[in-house]
Amino acid sequence: MTSDRPFRLDFRSIVKLRCPSCGAGRIFAGPLRMNEFCPHCGLRFEREAAGYFTGAMYFSYALAIPILSVLALAGITIGPSGSPGWVILFVFLAFLPFVPLIFRYSRTLFIHLDRALDPDH
Ligand SMILES: [Zn+2]
């Protein structure tokens, strides 16, 4: 479908994890639980029943790789030399607090991009 509306990404709404349509409603009801509809404007966040958020994995990957890289470098720097097992364990444990953030932002970025590219679907 096409739209006459210009392509637009509202970075403030993305940072605040808000609805791509109104910018006011929260996308998430809890750390890992999404609202089905925007509590402010009623926009349905998951457009398709199954597999809609598969595209969010690309954003998840893009967000996670820089963090994992920094953690790996930190683990190599502060850990015992010649111990890849220690670095892997360090990266795994240090990355866990980032998982909810990456989950939320990857889905939010995907919803915003999807709505910007195809607002009328
Ligand atoms: Zn809304």
**pTM of the model as a whole:** 0.85
Non-local CB neighbours of 61 within 8 Å, separated by 6+ positions: none
Summarize the confidence of residues 68-96 as an average pLDDT: 93
Ion ligand 1 neighbours, Cβ < 5 Å: 19, 21-22, 25, 38, 40-41, 43
Task: Compute the distance between CA of residue 5 and CA of residue 7 in angstroms, rounded to an integer.
Answer: 7
| 44 CA → ligand 1 middle, Å | 9
| 90 CA → ligand 1 middle, Å | 39
Task: Compute the distance between CA of residue 112 and CA of residue 18 in angstroms, rounded to an integer.
Answer: 9
Domain boundaries, the chain: 11-117
pLDDT digits (tens, 9 = 90+) for 48-74: 878 899 999 999 999 999 999 999 999
